[in-house]
Structure 1
Amino acid sequence: MSFSEWDELKLGDVADVLSGYAFKSKDFVNEGIPVIKIKNIVPPIIDIKDVQYVTEELYDEKHKYALNYNDILISMTGSNVNQIASAVGKIGRVKLKNAKLLLNQRVGKLYITDKAKYDYDYLYYYLTQEDVRYNLAASAGGSANQANINPSQIKNINIKVPNITEQKAIAKILSDLDEKIEINNKINDNLVAA
C-alpha cells in the first residue's frame, strides 16, 4: 500500500482524549502518588523528578485519571507556535513500569478506540512529527504566553493511517531506532562519567 492509498482520518476517528483532573492545592501532600502536570511532559517521555503528590486514598478515588505504561500524553496549555519548544501540544509517553501516576488538568491522555485497527506506537510516532505539532500549536487559542487547545481540537487533527500491519511495521522501525539512540546515549554518558 503506497502512502497515497492510506486513509486520511481525523484523530477522533482513531482515538479519544481524556482531560486530567483539576486537583486542588489542599489535595497535595509531601509524598505519595505523583501527579503528572504539563511541566512533566519532557518529550519523548514523562519526567517525574519534579512532581507533587496525592494520597493513595485520592488515587483510589480518582482512578479514572490513572496512567499506565506507554500512555500517550499531550499538553493542552503552553506557549504559542512562535515558541515551538514550549508550545501547546507537546507529546510524551509514560515509560515507568508499575508506577502509580495520576493525570492533572490541562494534560490529555490519548487512547485508541479500536485496538484491532489502530496501533498506539504508530499513533505516538505520527503525533510527534514536527508538522503535526506545529498544526496543533497553530490551532490553539489564547494569548502568545498562554495558548490552549481542547480535546475537540486535538481530535480534529488530520492523520494518515495505513492498515494495521503497516502501522506496526512503521512503529517497529522507529521504535528500534529510538532504542539504539537510547543505548548510544547511555554509552556516551558512561564514557563522560568515566
Structure 2
Amino acid sequence: MSETIRVLLADYQAMVRGALASLLDLEPDIEVVAEVGRGDEVVAAAMEHSPDVCVLDIEMPGMDGIEATSAVRTRLPDCRVLIVTTFGRPGYLRRALAAGATGFVVKDTPARQLADAVRRVHSGLRVLDPALATSSLVEGDNQLTERERDVLRLALTGTTVADIAARLHLSQGTVRNYLSSGISKTGTTTRYEAARIAQERGWL
C-alpha cells in the first residue's frame, strides 16, 4: 500500500477550506490532518500534526501565506508547501518560491489536478501554474525597495502625502521621492496608479 500524504490546509474562508478538505479526502492516498483559518496558526498546527504538505492560501489574517511558508520551511524543513490561491499574481509567485514554496496554483484548478499537485510537491517536484510562470518571466522581479512598498501600500488607500509621512515617520519630501521612484518603476503617472499596478503584480 502506498504511503498516505498528510496535508495541513490553511485558508481564511471556512467554506473554501472545507471544500478543499472534502476534495482531497476523497483521494485514497491523501489525508487532511489539520485545518486552520489564520496564517499565524500554521506553524503551531504543523508542529502538532506533522504534515507532509501544507496547502496555504496567501490572503489570511495574522500572517500571510508567504510569511507562513517561510516560517514552516524554517521550523519544519522536510515539510513541503503548496500555495493555492485566488490571487494569481506573478509577483506573489516569485515571492512564494523565494520563501520556500514548492508549488503555486490557483483555486480554479480542477480537483484531480489539485490532488496531483499535492502528490508532485510531496515527491519534491515543483508545480507552477503555467500562465503565472509565463507572466512572471515577462514582468520580471519586484523592482521596488521595502520603503517604496511601504509608501505605495498607504498610497493605495488614498492617503495624503502628509499622512503617509506621519505614519512612516518620514519627511514629506522623502515620501514624494519614494512615490516618484515607484511611479517610474511601474511606468505609471500617478501614485494611485503606481500602487494599483504594483499590487496587481504582487509587488506589495
* TM-score bracket for this pair, using the shorter chain length: under 0.3
Larger Rg: 1 or 2?
2
Highest RCO, 1 vs 2 (Cα 8 Å, sep ≥ 6)? 1
Structure whose residues are more often strand by fraction? 1
TM-score (norm 2): 0.27
TM-score (norm 1): 0.28
